[in-house]
A and B are shown apart, each in its own frame.
Chain A
Amino acid sequence: MLRDYSKLNTFSKVLRNNAEVYSNKPCIREKEYGIWQTYTWKDFYHQAQVLALGLRDKGLKRGDKISIIGDNRPNLYITIAAAQLIGAVPVPCYQDSVAEELQYILEHAEVKIVVVENQEQVDKVLEILDRLPNLKTIFYDDPRGLENYKNKEIHSLKLVFDSKDVDLSWVDSEIEKTSDDEIAVMLYTSGTTGRPKGVLLSYQNIISVTSKACEIEKTTVNDEVVAYLPMAWVGDFIFCVAQSYLSGFCINCPESRDTLTTDLREIGPTYYFAPPRVWEGMLTQLMVRMQDTAKLKLWIFNYFMVVAKKWGNDILDKKSVSIWGRCLYNLGYLFVYGPLKNNLGLTRVRMAYTAGEAMGPDTFLFYRSLGINLKVLYGQTEATVFVSLHRDSDVDPNTVGPAFPGVEIKIEDDEVLYRGTGVFKGYYKNDEATKATVNSEGWVKTGDAGVLDKSGHLKIIDRAKDVGKLNSGKMFAPKYIENKLKFCGIIKEAVAFGDKKDFVCCFINIDLEAVASWAERNNVAYSGYIDLASQEEVYDLIAKEILNVNKDLSKDAELFESQIKRFLILHKELDADDGELTRTNKVRRGLILERYGKLVEAMYKNDKECFIETEVTFEDGKKGKISADLKIKDMEVFDLEGVAA
């Protein structure tokens, strides 16, 4: 449905309109007590209005910040809506942040009220409350375990929702006051480098970009999306909140993080978004499970996967395919792809995106060959997500697609720059950083190195600042190498070193699930992660994969010197709780180099072994130490033509 967004130029106006046009259509669902409970657009709007009054009574004014911390829950989405109704700015935070990380954001944003999901989050906020002079009120959604909390700052959301005889006319007058250049939401970037920065996005940013995205994908009121990615991430805000506002479709909140697979299957979303990690995890798990199946089934699976690989992608792209190919593919759909998609909960998926990291072409094509219309998206919080996007029938696994409508892209000194309607209003209280990112003509630096190919598709190589040079003068792009390593499924994370060095070395994190299953099938006994990671057989297994990557790299004149000469398998998984990854699971190179500097040195000193002790943070915030002797293994490298040296 097309609406006039020059009049409906803020979320509160759109929401009010939705409550009229979609009134009894589902707006948001949540699985509770084993049953999907639905809020209609009318309910949602009403609840948001009531809560808006409650927030006003706690002193929240136009322009004030209100923070939301928790898993995707209807009441937290209602809180965002309520804040926007009265012109306050919602600041969603990552639910798994530790107290210190939260403190920085709540302090920097001068948050007045936080609305949290449960006791866990309340405890975190209470821990830092005395350091936050602006924070006066904490609302919680789930009362469990909070009965005996006596702090005067803590209030239940339910009490607000239950309040009777509320006069909602005030909210209506507030809606009229909102304008499109107001800040709709403030999202903190994950902070791959240094402190997180608060990105300010206006209604104009969000509505102009989202309406185009809805147009491209032809989203309708009948679409379904499952909200499971962190609310603090711009993707959740755009794909779930904004697109649902503009198209009227329903957001489904899973029961808990553990039940996601079941919930996906029950809902059967038509619109599915997942970072490469999730797609890869799904594929790894699938392959592991297939290994355990009966021989005949495995044969059928393998046979039809070959069929899919041959014709699937072309059929999806509506290219001409022989009748024989179509027949076999349809048979395969009946026996394998259909049931498989059903098992993954992806039967109804009409549009699927991945973004955030590079995705292995094999994985990417695997899903596409099953008939899932998976596309790559390149974006940034600063761009209101969309910079470039694959279009239907114009998909290339090695690129991130052509520019999004209304966005211009140019390459300057290898770095990707863009401008368009989605460009953010600035970093909160950080003009210096804003000026360093956006130039006077409105071009935004992405910090990514990339190229535009002949067909106008953008190809991302690496973070610009991470691209270095080997001592020989050849380019060294760590991410490019790491991604190649990660595509194999048994390597979960890799960190490559080589800038200002003679050759390339790397750290490997094994994928526990995949390697454990391999170990079981090959009678390799182990007692735990550390033990498994140090097994000679596992080293050999990883070496085999690295050899493939080396062979691949040796075919590229630019990169053949980036072949990996030495590697070691880390004794622990790199973890966001230890600060080694960002909350969006990106490697923090500087910190890793600092913490594991000793290991890097050992690799370049030709040592065969190195002792390391590291501090780890457990889920409850306690700290402990683990130590291990790590073996360093040498690798064979190839000449430029791909021949062993």
Chain B
Amino acid sequence: MKKESVNHEYSQLMDIKNVNLSFGGLKALIDVDLQVNTGEILAIIGPNGAGKSSMLNVISGIYVPQQGVVKWKGQIRKKIAPHDIARMGIARTFQNIALFKGMSALDNILIGRNILMKRNIFLEMLYLGSSKSQEIEHRKKVEEIIDFLEIQAIRKTPVSRLPYGLQKRVELGRALALEPELLLLDEPMAGMNMEEKEDMCRFVLDVNEQFGTTIVLIEHDMGVVMDISDRVAVLDYGIKIADGTPDEVRSEQKVIDAYLGVG
């Protein structure tokens, strides 16, 4: 895949200020500020129930916080429909794989291109004109992703027959097919063995490096987080307790307390 120019128009892709989110009486996020800088890999970590997934859903626009401001490329973002989120250039993978089980890896990734396809039902039925060139263009892009993720051998295998690690890779492929500016990964390494984790780390780094995609990820494996992220934000009971480089975060007393408990 060709290296695409990184959009440096906004140094901050996303700016979240004083966000409060609660479900009934349960406060999931309390006065959280978070910036996502263009081109970085940002990890959100925290103990169970700290509000990580909620945070990711606020970023992706699935949840609209009761209070606070979410700015996307400097513009305040209101409530938004899922297909519009995709159109904005935000793609994600899920904690529990959400692929179409009966479809092949290739078709699953092709679905990621859905939002970029311009449709004309008549031309499509006859496979004529623009619909033909479009199809070729999209398939080319999908093949580039298959090549990038090194999944040529499973191109035509139904995903339900694939091992877990490969399914995760196909899911990443589908997200990439959208050519996102911001890629959200919800526990991309969960349930993987050492080798699969190493592979996945390399792919995440390659995506960031080659396409200049900004990545926000939630991850429990501290080794992975500290190795690959440029910045780490730590949540605990809905409050952001630290934000900085992996080294800064590691030595932060509050983080140590949150993880090890205060004696």
Contact = CB atoms under 8 A, between A and B. Distances in A.
Contact of A256 (B153, B209, B210): B153
Given A147-B3, A256-B150, A34 B155 contact: yes
B152 A259 contact: yes
A148 interface: yes
B170 to A, nearest CB: 15
A255 interface: yes
Interface string B17-57: 00000000000000000000000000000000000000000
B124 interface: no
Contacts of B147: 32-33
Interface in B191-212: 206, 209-210
Nearest to B156: A262
A34 B146 contact: yes
Interface string A267-289: 00000000000000000000000
Contacts of A258: 152-153
Interface residues of A, number: 13
Contacts of B140: 33
Interface in B132-171: 140, 143-144, 146-148, 150, 152-153, 155
Interface in B217-236: none
Contacts of A144: 148, 206
Nearest to B206: A145
Contacts of B206: 144-145
A259 B144 contact: no
A143 to B, nearest CB: 10
Given A33-B144, A33-B147, A147-B3, A262 B153 contact: yes
Interface string A242-256: 000000000000011
A33, A145, A148, A255, most chain B CB atoms within 10 A: A33
A101 B155 CA distance: 35
Contacts of A35: 143
B238 to A, nearest CB: 39
B153 A259 contact: yes
Contact of A147 (B143, B150, B153, B209): B209
Interface string A120-164: 000000000000000000000000110110000000000000000
Interface in A19-38: 32-35
B152 A255 contact: yes
Nearest to B144: A33
Contacts of A147: 3, 209-210
Nearest to A260: B153
A398 to B, nearest CB: 37
Contacts of B152: 34, 255-256, 258-259
A54 B147 CA distance: 28
Contacts of A34: 143, 146, 152, 155
A34 B150 CA distance: 12
B217 to A, nearest CB: 20
Nearest to B154: A258
A32 B143 CA distance: 9
Of the candidates B148, B153, B206, the one having the most CB atoms from chain A within 10 angstroms of its own CB is B153
Nearest to B1: A144
Contacts of A145: 206
A33 B147 CA distance: 7
Contacts of B146: 33-34
| Max count, chain A CB within 10 A of own CB: residue among B150, B152, B155, B210 | B152
B138 to A, nearest CB: 13
A148 B208 CA distance: 13
Interface string A1-45: 000000000000000000000000000000011110000000000
Interface in A336-369: none
A258 B143 CA distance: 16
A32 B144 CA distance: 9
A630 B88 CA distance: 61
Given A255-B152, A256-B152, A259-B152, A148 B143 contact: no
B97 to A, nearest CB: 21
A259 B105 CA distance: 15
Nearest to A34: B143
Contacts of A255: 152-153
Nearest to B3: A147
**Which of B144, B146, B147 has the most CB atoms of chain A within a 10 A radius of its CB?**
B147
Contact of B209 (A32, A148, A259): A148
Contacts of A32: 147
Contacts of B148: 144
Contacts of A33: 140, 143-144, 146-147
Interface string B107-146: 0000000000000000000000000000000001001101
Nearest to B141: A33
Contacts of B210: 147
B109 to A, nearest CB: 12
Nearest to B151: A258
A115 to B, nearest CB: 21
A262 B152 CA distance: 10
A259 to B, nearest CB: 5
A262 B156 CA distance: 10
Interface string A443-462: 00000000000000000000
Nearest to B143: A33
A90 B153 CA distance: 31
A343 to B, nearest CB: 15
A144 B205 CA distance: 12
Contacts of A148: 209
A31 to B, nearest CB: 8
A32 B1 CA distance: 12
A259 B148 CA distance: 15
B67 to A, nearest CB: 43
Contacts of B3: 147
Given A32-B147, A33-B140, A144-B206, 20 more contacts: A33-B143, A33-B144, A33-B147, A34-B146, A34-B152, A34-B155, A35-B143, A144-B148, A145-B206, A147-B209, A147-B210, A148-B209, A255-B152, A255-B153, A256-B150, A256-B153, A258-B152, A258-B153, A259-B152, A259-B153
5 contacts: A34-B146, A148-B209, A255-B152, A258-B152, A258-B153
Interface of A: 32-35, 144-145, 147-148, 255-256, 258-259, 262
- Please provide the 3 A-B residue pairs with the shortest distance between their CB atoms, ordered closest to farther: A258-B153, A33-B143, A259-B153
